[in-house]
């Protein structure tokens, strides 16, 4: 986990401590230099007083000088900042470990001038020339140079920022002492702070509202462009930082209102308020959010205000409210209409039920009347001795029974509009087979009916056609007890076309007969019924007889 960056205040305090230590070192060097001069002066006097040179004091002075230099080296090694010393030839004669770490260059290479391989930058990032170095300026100006910010580009491309101070000294072979303080973290902090400030300023300037802050005396601290535009529109002039925002040009009511707003925020905390602007010809509604400005100790030092024009939102809210009222009114009308529709539907269901009951009763009575007719025909046939007359009466009774069967099925089922042709024709062919055959296994039935439902207008003609054709096959297709198959097929060949087929495997028609001109009453009735259905009929005789009838599928009717 990286160590936390020191704050700017901490860096300032460390810089002050380092400056104090550097001043102390300068004083120590000056004192040492003074002592050395006194020793030299004493030696000169002694040389003048005696012809023999006494080197005892000189040796003591040199020993003291070496001891002082050793102590200074030890002191510099303990410094947390980089320290280097140049001689009169601008060669490095001493560097401490902190400088080695800052420059990332070994001690031996530094003493050999390895620092010259680095690139140096000005604070703005441009290359720094040699004459701008603090050490170069000391030699040129012969005075102390402090706080020269320099960027040092390391071998890996990273930049180390240092604050360099250099002072001239005269001590043994020392000529300039250079102190380098690593300010990389401070630079990063300042850059981050600068970027954060720029981002904040950009955010404030690009916000769709006016932002400003005032101190406890209602004096302007800072404001964005929109605030200043609004002020110029209201006052005809701008306001500067430090100026009281409660300008006397404003209406008294506005001054009192805003003073109350500022005081309320400083006393009770953040709050929002909506108010109408008084400075434009067109009414506007603005929402303001006021929040107190507090220090780290909790002291309130001002108020920040954010104002946003919400006129369109208020208009939209009004429009929405009106739309909701209209919707509620429309919903009420719809509910009323729905209740009326329910009442009408209930009435219609009652009428429909009565109609169904009436229709069932009609079908029931029609069926009963047809059964009466069938009974009369049956009684009449008992008194007739002529074979042809008996056959005609039987055929008539059969046709009446076909019609009665339709009404019976309509009466029994819940649907009074259509007939289930599969059930109807299956029941019809079974009944005819029972009437006209004496041997139960002589004739086989083949009934292929798809799910076709016919209206009453089509079901009765279809039933009569099947009855006539089926009866003809039972009577004439299988003479002398011959066995065979009679089939009935009904299917929808298209959504609007129905095909009815009646066929048998009997002896077929005579080859010389004109099928379409057969004189029988049954075939005449078949053609009439086909015309009633608006259909066509095709009769073929090949290993039996096949009659194919095609007619349009009309909508069911009652």
**45: CATH:** 3.30.450.20
Does residue 176 sit within a domain?
yes
With contact defined as beta carbons under 8 Å apart, do 399 and 431 qualify? Answer: no
With contact defined as beta carbons under 8 Å apart, do 265 and 292 qualify? Answer: yes
Does residue 126 sit within a domain?
yes
With contact defined as beta carbons under 8 Å apart, do 263 and 257 qualify? Answer: no
* Predicted confidence band of residue 12 (pLDDT cuts 50, 70, 90): low
Residues 476 and 447 in one domain: yes
Distance from C-alpha of 189 to C-alpha of 6, rounded to nearest angstrom: 9
DSSP letter string over 269-296?
A: --EEEEEE-SSSSS--EEEEEEEEEE-T
Query: What percentage of the chain carries pLDDT values higher than 70?
Result: 74
pLDDT of 550 over the 80 cut: yes
Q: pLDDT: is 261 or 171 the higher one?
A: 261
Does residue 450 sit within a domain?
yes
Residues 285 and 432 in one domain: no
Helices of type H across 50-81: 56-78
pLDDT digits (tens, 9 = 90+) for 209-252: 889 999 999 999 989 888 888 888 888 888 999 999 998 888 88
Residue 126 pLDDT: 92
Residues 322 and 430 in one domain: no
Distance from C-alpha of 35 to C-alpha of 57, rounded to nearest angstrom: 12
With contact defined as beta carbons under 8 Å apart, do 550 and 492 qualify? Answer: no
Least confident of 260-274, 284-298, 416-430, 539-553: 416-430
Pick the closest to residue 33 from 60, 68, 59, 74 (CA basis).
68
* Predicted confidence band of residue 390 (pLDDT cuts 50, 70, 90): confident
With contact defined as beta carbons under 8 Å apart, do 275 and 283 qualify? Answer: no
Query: What percentage of the chain carries pLDDT values higher than 90?
Result: 17
Residues 368 and 263 in one domain: no
Task: Give Cα 27 to chain centroid, integer Å.
Answer: 72
Last residue of a domain, one of 416, 450, 468: 416
Distance from C-alpha of 435 to C-alpha of 429, rounded to nearest angstrom: 10
Residue 556 pLDDT: 40
487 DSSP assignment:
E
pLDDT digits (tens, 9 = 90+) for 75-127: 666 667 888 888 888 888 888 888 878 887 777 777 777 667 788 899 888 99
Question: Rounded to 5 degrees, what angle do the CA atoms 111, 116, 117 make?
Answer: 115
* Predicted confidence band of residue 191 (pLDDT cuts 50, 70, 90): confident
Residues 428 and 524 in one domain: yes
Pick the closest to residue 509 from 540, 534, 480 (CA basis).
540
Does residue 198 sit within a domain?
no
* Predicted confidence band of residue 40 (pLDDT cuts 50, 70, 90): low
With contact defined as beta carbons under 8 Å apart, do 516 and 493 qualify? Answer: no
* Predicted confidence band of residue 185 (pLDDT cuts 50, 70, 90): confident
Task: Copy the structure tokens of residue 410.
Answer: 């309509």
Residues 232 and 253 in one domain: yes
Least confident of 292-301, 369-378, 408-417: 408-417
Mention every residue, 6+ apart, whose C-beta is less than 8 A from residue 26: 167, 169, 177
Does residue 199 sit within a domain?
no
Last residue of a domain, one of 277, 309, 341: 309
Residues 305 and 317 in one domain: no
Q: pLDDT: is 288 or 350 the higher one?
A: 288
Distance from C-alpha of 377 to C-alpha of 395, rounded to nearest angstrom: 10
* Predicted confidence band of residue 1 (pLDDT cuts 50, 70, 90): very low
With contact defined as beta carbons under 8 Å apart, do 420 and 408 qualify? Answer: no
Pick the closest to residue 229 from 241, 218, 238, 240 (CA basis).
238
Residues 211 and 124 in one domain: no
Residue 17 pLDDT: 60
Distance from C-alpha of 75 to C-alpha of 69, rounded to nearest angstrom: 10
Residues 140 and 251 in one domain: no
Q: pLDDT: is 545 or 62 the higher one?
A: 545
With contact defined as beta carbons under 8 Å apart, do 272 and 289 qualify? Answer: yes
Domain that holds residue 440: 422-552
Q: How many helices (H) and strands (E) does the chain have?
A: 13, 18
Residues 359 and 433 in one domain: no
Residues 283 and 320 in one domain: no
Q: Residue 148: in which H helix or E strand, if any? A: strand 145-153
Does residue 557 sit within a domain?
no
Q: pLDDT: is 423 or 355 the higher one?
A: 423
DSSP letter string over 109-139?
A: HHHTTGGGGSEEE-TTSSBPPGGGSHHHHHH
Residue 146 β-bridge partners: none
Residue 51 pLDDT: 40
Residue 535 pLDDT: 92
Does residue 88 sit within a domain?
yes
Number of separate domains in the chain: 4
Pick the closest to residue 227 from 247, 213, 248 (CA basis).
213
Residue 285 pLDDT: 85
pLDDT digits (tens, 9 = 90+) for 500-519: 999 999 888 876 444 444 45
Residue 160 β-bridge partners: 152
pLDDT of 362 over the 90 cut: no
* Predicted confidence band of residue 260 (pLDDT cuts 50, 70, 90): very high
Q: Residue 395: in which H helix or E strand, if any? A: helix 387-412
183 DSSP assignment:
-
SS3 415: coil
Please give the C-alpha separations between residue 410 and each of 281, 399, 405, 466, 533, in angstroms, as whole numbers: 81, 17, 9, 19, 20
Distance from C-alpha of 37 to C-alpha of 429, rounded to nearest angstrom: 150
Q: pLDDT: is 358 or 212 the higher one?
A: 212
Does residue 465 sit within a domain?
yes
N-terminal to C-terminal alpha carbon distance within the chain: 92
Residues across the chain: 558
Last residue of a domain, one of 416, 448, 480: 416
Mean pLDDT of 150-160: 86
Least confident of 15-29, 246-260, 464-478, 493-507: 15-29
Q: pLDDT: is 62 or 189 the higher one?
A: 189
pLDDT of 557 over the 50 cut: no
Distance from C-alpha of 304 to C-alpha of 291, rounded to nearest angstrom: 5
Distance from C-alpha of 213 to C-alpha of 302, rounded to nearest angstrom: 7
Residues 82 and 119 in one domain: yes
Distance from C-alpha of 307 to C-alpha of 227, rounded to nearest angstrom: 9
pTM over 0.85: no
């Amino acid at each position: 986990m990286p160590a936390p960056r020191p704050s700017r205040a901490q860096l300032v305090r460390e810089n002050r401590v380092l400056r104090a230590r550097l001043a102390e070192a300068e004083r120590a060097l000056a004192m040492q230099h003074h002592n050395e001069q006194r020793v030299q002066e004493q030696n000169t006097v002694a040389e003048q007083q005696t012809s023999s040179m006494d080197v005892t004091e000189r040796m003591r002075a040199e020993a003291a000088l070496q001891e002082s230099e050793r102590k200074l080296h030890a002191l510099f090694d303990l410094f947390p900042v980089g320290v280097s010393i140049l001689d009169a030839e601008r060669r490095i004669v001493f560097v401490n470990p902190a400088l080695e770490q800052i420059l990332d260059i070994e001690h031996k290479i530094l003493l050999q001038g390895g620092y010259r391989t680095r690139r140096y930058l000005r604070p703005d990032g441009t290359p720094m020339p040699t004459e701008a170095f603090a050490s170069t300026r000391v030699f040129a100006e012969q005075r102390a140079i402090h706080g020269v910010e320099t960027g040092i580009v390391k071998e890996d491309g990273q930049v180390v920022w240092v604050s360099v101070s250099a002072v001239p000294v005269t001590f043994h072979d020392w000529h300039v002492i250079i102190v380098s303080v690593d300010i990389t973290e401070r630079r990063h902090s300042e850059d981050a702070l600068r970027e954060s400030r720029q981002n904040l300023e950009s955010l404030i300037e690009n916000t769709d509202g006016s932002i400003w802050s005032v101190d406890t005396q209602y004096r302007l601290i800072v404001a964005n462009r929109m605030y200043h535009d609004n002020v110029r529109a209201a006052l005809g002039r701008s306001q500067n930082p430090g100026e009281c925002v409660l300008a006397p040009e404003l209406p008294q009511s506005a001054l009192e209102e805003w003073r109350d707003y500022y005081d309320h925020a400083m006393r009770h905390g953040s709050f929002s308020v909506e108010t109408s602007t008084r400075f434009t010809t067109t009414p506007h509604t603005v929402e303001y959010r006021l929040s107190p400005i507090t220090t780290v100790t909790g002291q309130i030092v001002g108020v920040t205000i954010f104002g946003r024009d919400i006129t369109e939102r208020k208009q939209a809210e009004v429009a929405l409210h009106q739309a909701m009222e209209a919707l509620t009114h429309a919903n009420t009308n719809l509910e009323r209409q729905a209740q009326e529709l329910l009442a009408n539907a209930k009435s219609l269901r009652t009428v429909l039920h009565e109609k169904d009951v009436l229709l069932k009763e009609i079908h029931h009575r029609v069926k009963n009347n047809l059964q009466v007719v069938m009974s009369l025909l049956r009684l009449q046939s008992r008194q007739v001795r002529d074979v042809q007359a008996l056959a005609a009466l039987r055929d008539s009774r059969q046709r009446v029974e076909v019609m009665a069967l339709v009404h019976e099925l309509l009466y029994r089922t819940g649907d009074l509009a259509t007939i289930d042709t599969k059930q109807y024709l299956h029941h019809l062919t079974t009944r005819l087979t029972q009437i006209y055959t004496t041997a139960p296994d002589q004739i086989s039935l083949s009934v292929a009916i798809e799910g076709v439902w016919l209206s009453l207008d089509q079901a009765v003609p279809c039933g009569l056609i099947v009855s006539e054709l089926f009866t003809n096959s039972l009577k004439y297709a299988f003479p002398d007890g011959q066995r065979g198959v009679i089939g009935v097929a009904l299917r929808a060949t298209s959504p609007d076309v129905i095909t009815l087929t009646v066929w048998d495997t009997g002896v077929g028609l005579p080859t010389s007969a004109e099928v379409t001109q057969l004189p029988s009453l049954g075939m005449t009735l078949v053609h009439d019924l086909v015309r009633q259905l608006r259909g066509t009929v095709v009769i073929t005789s090949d290993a039996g007889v096949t009659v194919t009838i095609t007619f349009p599928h009309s909508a069911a009717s009652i």
